[in-house]
Amino acid sequence: MRDVASDTATRPRTRVDVVDLLTAMLSVPSVSGDEEALAAMLVWRLLDAGFDVDVDAAGNVIAAWGDGPETIALVGHLDTVAGRIDVRRDGGVLHGRGAVDAKGPLATAITAVSRQPRDCGRRFIVIGAVEEETTSRGAHHLATSMTAPQSLVILEPSGWDAVTIGYKGSVRLRASVAQPQAHSAGRDPSAADRCVDIVRALQDHAAAANAGVGVFERIDVRVLRFDSESDGLVDRATVDIGVRTPPDCDVAAVLGIVQSAAGAGEVAVLAQVPGVRTRRDSPIARGMVHAIRAAGGAPRFKLKTGTSDLNVLVPAWRCPAVAFGPGDSRLDHTPDERVSIAELERAVRVLELALSDR
- Whichever domain contains 249, its CATH number is 3.30.70.360
User: Are residues 9 and 144 located together in one domain of the fold?
Assistant: yes
Provide φ and ψ at 160, rounded to 5°: -65, -20
User: Are residues 226 and 314 located together in one domain of the fold?
Assistant: no
Q: Which of 258, 273, 288 is the last residue of a domain?
A: 273
Expressed as residue numbers, the domain containing 336 is: 2-167+276-356
User: Are residues 173 and 224 located together in one domain of the fold?
Assistant: yes
Which uninterrupted H or E stretch holds 116? Answer: none
Q: What is the C-alpha to C-alpha distance for residues 44 and 51, in angstroms, rounded to an integer?
A: 10
User: Are residues 263 and 325 located together in one domain of the fold?
Assistant: no
Q: Which of 232, 252, 273 is the last residue of a domain?
A: 273
Neighbours of 229 (CB within 10 A): 11
User: Are residues 179 and 306 located together in one domain of the fold?
Assistant: no
Quick one: CA torsion of 290, 295, 301, 307, rounded to 10 degrees?
Answer: -110
Q: Residue 14's pLDDT is what?
A: 83
Q: Residue 11's pLDDT is what?
A: 56
User: Are residues 295 and 260 located together in one domain of the fold?
Assistant: no
Q: Residue 13's pLDDT is what?
A: 76
User: Are residues 40 and 184 located together in one domain of the fold?
Assistant: no
Q: What is the 3-state secondary structure (H, E, C) of 51-104?
A: CEEEECCCCCEEEEECCCCEEEEEEEECCECCCCCCCEEECCEEECCCCCCCHH
Provide φ and ψ at 229, rounded to 5°: -160, 165
The structural domain count of the chain equals: 2
Q: What is the C-alpha to C-alpha distance for residues 300 and 168, in angstroms, rounded to an integer?
A: 18
User: Are residues 150 and 298 located together in one domain of the fold?
Assistant: yes
Cβ neighbours for 234, distance < 8 A, ≥ 6 positions apart: 178, 179, 180, 181
Q: Which of 273, 297, 330 is the last residue of a domain?
A: 273
Q: What is the CATH number of the domain that holds 91?
A: 3.40.630.10
Q: Residue 181's pLDDT is what?
A: 84
Helix (H, G, I), strand (E, B) or coil at 140: helix
- Tens digits of pLDDT across the chain (358 residues): 555 554 555 556 789 999 999 999 999 999 999 999 999 999 999 999 999 999 999 999 999 999 999 999 999 999 999 999 999 999 999 999 999 999 999 999 999 999 999 998 999 999 999 999 999 999 999 999 999 999 999 999 999 999 999 999 999 999 999 999 876 666 789 999 999 999 999 999 999 999 999 999 999 999 999 999 999 899 999 999 999 999 999 999 999 999 999 999 999 999 999 999 999 999 999 999 999 999 999 999 999 999 999 999 999 999 999 999 999 999 999 999 999 999 999 999 999 999 996 5
- 216, 173 contact by CB (below 8 A): no
Distances (CA, A) of 339 to 89, 288, 297: 10, 21, 18
User: Are residues 147 and 291 located together in one domain of the fold?
Assistant: yes
Q: Please identify every residue annotated as catalytic.
A: 79, 132
User: Are residues 18 and 120 located together in one domain of the fold?
Assistant: yes
Q: Residue 251's pLDDT is what?
A: 95
Q: Residue 142's pLDDT is what?
A: 98
Quote the strand ranges of 79-203, DSSP E: 88-90, 93-95, 122-129, 151-154, 162-167, 169-180
Distances (CA, A) of 130 to 57, 126, 251: 11, 13, 27
Q: What is the C-alpha to C-alpha distance for residues 279 and 258, in angstroms, rounded to an integer?
A: 33
User: Are residues 121 and 41 located together in one domain of the fold?
Assistant: yes
User: Are residues 50 and 190 located together in one domain of the fold?
Assistant: no
Q: Residue 81's pLDDT is what?
A: 97
Look up the pTM and report it. Answer: 0.91
